[in-house]
Amino acid sequence: MTTPEGKPPLDRKTLIDLGFIDARAKVLDIAAFLDRLDRASDANTPTDFRVDAIRSALEIARDNSPARAERILKCWSDPTTQPVAHADGKAARGAHPPHTS
Amino acid sequence: MYIDPHVHMVSRTTDDYARMATAGCVAVTEPAFWAGFDRSSAAGFHDYFRQLTESEPRRAAAYGIAHHAWICINPKEAEDHGFAREVMSMIPEFLSRPNVLGVGEIGLNRNSKTELAVFEEHLEIAARHNSLVLIHTPHLEDKLKGTRLILDAIAAHGKINPARILVDHVEEHTVRMVLDRGMWAGMTLYPDTKCTAARAVDIMEMHGTERIWINSAGDWGHSDPLAVPKAVVTMRARGHTAADIQKISFDNPRSFLSQSGNFSVNAPRPTIA
């Protein structure tokens, strides 16, 4: 690539100019999603592991350490190492349920 | 001018071929995959492999696009080991066709023991036929574990040069381990579930452009057959040079795919079916 050591070709100010509105919209979408869940008629039922996964990811996103995207993906990943006996359906769910780890 | 090295054109309309050609696509490669439902017989796969190697190349050629295929039983239909073996027995017949590049997209879906056994048998077929290998890594929370299982299985098998293997659908948490083992890494540009263009460019900035390609993996689901040219636009906006853009969108896929003597960016003369 054009720049060494993982640095983007553009400076920080230009990257903010390019990406801020898009990032702003995505943050608002997440906030509105959580608000929507709170407004649901069954809002007092136990929380869903996928929503917990979103909240855990938000904690990572707001810290000041690098590799946030990589750490969020790892946070959502199945931590086990051995193949499972049988495939549990065809579709992954997006985050690993805590009770199966 | 670009190559989309992973796109499921059987699921796309002819208008998509026209749009891709207009955007500069000169070649596509199409791995065998899950059609959105389970086929009920091995004969259904035989028909699908004929579609990939006979019908799609004609459809692509009408738009000046070279079309090549990869053959396998995908991991989503590999849970029945006997059925998978019946389908795998047909693979050699198609590997000998002049527009087939190798075995793919093999790999894991839910990381089951049977999926892993079928993956290992595919590796053996590829080794026996000296074929290139295109590997699908699992979705979402299964990707990290599945990628590790796949890389370990390849190392244990040990009969295929890593430079002839592309591990696809890498993201931030899997790209390094693939490159460190000497294999190629593919980044799939999906609206929701894999890499966005912005993140793919981030990964290139952090890990370089050696042995990396980008693809749309356009199929019947939420996907975009123009994802590669749109990523090029993102690269340009992010200040990357024309040389870098050509490397990631054309030179790199051509280098990997040309290891198969069957690959060419020149489409055959259009014919009527």
Q: Which residue has the higher pLDDT, A4 or B69?
A: B69
For residues B220-248, give the mean pLDDT. 97
Residues 6+ apart with CB under 8 A from B92: B125, B129
Chain A residues within 8 A of B192 when measuring between CB atoms: none
Shortest Cα–Cα distance, A44 to chain B (Å): 27
Distance from CA of B99 to the nearest CA of A (A): 30
Q: Is B268 within a domain?
A: no
A37 and A53, same structural domain? no
CB contact under 8 A, B240 and A94: no
pTM of the model: 0.96
Which residues of chain A lie closer than 8 angstroms to B36, CB-CB?
none
Radius of gyration from C-alpha coordinates of chain B: 17
Quick one: pLDDT at residue A47? 84
Per-residue pLDDT at B270: 87
Domain annotation covers residue B271: no
Number of domains in chain A: 2
Residues A50 and A73 in one domain: yes
Tell me, what DSSP letter sits at residue B249?
A: I
Phi-psi group of B170: left, alpha or beta (phi > 0 → left; psi -120 to 50 → alpha; rest → beta): beta
A6 shares contact with chain B (CB less than 8 Å): yes
Nearest partner of B161 among B187, B136, B120, B133, judged by Cα = B133
pLDDT class for A99, splitting at 50, 70, 90?
Answer: low
Q: Do A77 and B208 touch (CB under 8 A)?
A: no
What residue in B sits closest to A84 (Cα-Cα)? B112
Domain count for chain B: 1
In contact, B147 and B158? CB cutoff 8 Å: no
B60-79 b/e (C-beta count within 10 Å ≥ 16 → b)? bbebebbbbbbbbbbbbbbb
Q: Is B272 part of any domain?
A: no
What residue numbers bound the domain in which B217 lies? 2-257
| A-to-B residue pairs, Cβ atoms closer than 8 angstroms | 101
Residue A19: give the domain boundaries. 9-42
Contacts of A2 in chain B (CB under 8 A): 239-241, 244
Closest partner residue to A94 (CB to CB) among B109, B140, B171 is B140
**Do residues A55 and A37 both lie within one domain?**
no
Q: Is residue B264 in a domain?
A: no
Query: Is the same domain home to A37 and A50?
Result: no
Question: What is the full DSSP assignment across B88-128?
Answer: HTTHHHHHTSTTEEEEEEEE-SS-BHHHHHHHHHHHHHHHH
**Residue B179: inside a domain, yes or no?**
yes
How far away is chain B from the Cα of A48, in angstroms, using its nearest Cα? Answer: 16
pLDDT in tens, B237-259: 999 999 999 999 999 999 999 99
Distance CA B95, CA B129 (A): 8
Q: Which H or E element spans position B166? A: strand B165-168
In DSSP notation, A38-92 reads HHSTTTTSPPPHHHHHHHHHHHHHTSS-S-HHHHHHHHTS----SPBSS---S--
Give the pLDDT confidence of B72-115 residue by residue, as tens digits.
999 999 999 999 999 999 999 999 999 999 999 999 999 999 99
Considering the domain boundaries, does residue A66 fall inside one? yes
State how far the Cα of A51 lies from the Cα of A48, in Å rounded to an integer.
5
Residue B265 is given by DSSP the state: S
| A87 near B CB under 8 A | yes
**Kind and range of the H or E element at B133?**
strand B132-136
Whether omega before B105 lies within 30 degrees of 0, making that bond cis, reads yes
B158 touches chain A (CB under 8 A): no
Classify residue A85: in a domain, yes or no.
no
> CA B140, B142, B148, B151 torsion: positive or negative?
negative
What distance in Å separates the CA atoms of residue B98 and residue A67, rounded to the nearest whole number?
44
- Average pLDDT along chain A: 91
Chain B residues closer than 8 Å to A67 by CB = 172
The reported pLDDT for the residue numbered A5 is 67
Give the closest-approach CA distance of A19 to chain B in angstroms. 9
Q: Are residues A37 and A56 in the same domain?
A: no
- The CATH number for B218's domain is 3.20.20.140
Confidence bin at B272 (pLDDT 50/70/90): confident
Q: Is residue A87 part of a domain?
A: no
- Structure confidence by residue, pLDDT tens digits, A29-38: 999 999 999 9
Interface contact flag, A83 B149, Cβ < 8 Å: yes
Taking residues A49-56, what's their average pLDDT? 96
DSSP B139: P
Instruction: Quote the CA–CA distance of B159 and B85 in Å, as a whole number.
Output: 20
Tokens standing for B178? Answer: 């693939």
Query: In the prediction, which pLDDT does A101 show?
Result: 45
pLDDT (0 to 100) of residue B112 = 96
> Is B208 in CB contact (< 8 Å) with chain A?
yes
- Give the mean pLDDT of chain B: 97
Q: Do A84 and B111 touch (CB under 8 A)?
A: yes
The CA distance from B212 to B134, in Å, is: 13
Residue of A nearest to B109 (CA): A90
Please give the Cα distance from B35 to B90 (Å, whole number): 18
